[in-house]
Amino acid sequence: NMELVVNRDNGTIYLDNPNSVTTLKLKKDDSETSHTATNAGNYTAKATVTSANYELNASEPTATFDWEITKKVITITEVTASKVYDKTTDFSVVEATISGDVPGEDVSVNVTGGNYVSANAGNNIGLENLTYELTGADKGNYQLEATPDPTINASISQKEVSLSWNY
């Protein structure tokens, strides 16, 4: 008598007599293709046992179970902004540095809104009302931390002025 066991604690599927298994298939659904779940989301798995060596009680004993891969939290560690003085608090060139992403994955953060706290030229100027957007092919596997608090490196350089006169 063989029993198909699903251990939800560590995600393993095994038989009480694993030496008798010819095939153990883990499927995302009833399709004939096997799947590997790597993206965030909810899944239902179906494990099917077939054996060429033993007669099984059912044609293909199965077990199904549900699991979830949660989104990984990304931290915005630094925001850098710079521009030439234009008497506004708008910014145009902003870069965000992140941590917490999986190496090799295509995910980044764009700063989609916000402004300088002052329109005057200088260094270490604060930024406020920042909004962010995840981008990249793997962005669906990530979420931004609830309240980002990155290091801000923002500056406004002095505008070069040229003088000319006629005499």
pLDDT number for residue 60: 56
* Burial category of 79 from C-beta neighbours within 10 Å (exposed 0-12, middle 13-18, buried 19 and up): buried
- What single DSSP character describes residue 122? B
- At 107-151, the pLDDT tens digits run 999 999 999 999 999 999 999 999 999 999 999 999 999 888 899
The C-alpha atoms of residue 103 and residue 72 are separated, in whole angstroms, by 13
- What single DSSP character describes residue 19? G
pLDDT value at 21 more than 50? no
83-87, 94-98, 144-148: which range is least confident on average?
144-148
Instruction: Record the tokens describing residue 89, joined without a space.
Output: 């608090």
- At 24-69, the pLDDT tens digits run 444 445 554 445 667 787 776 666 655 555 555 555 556 666 667 7
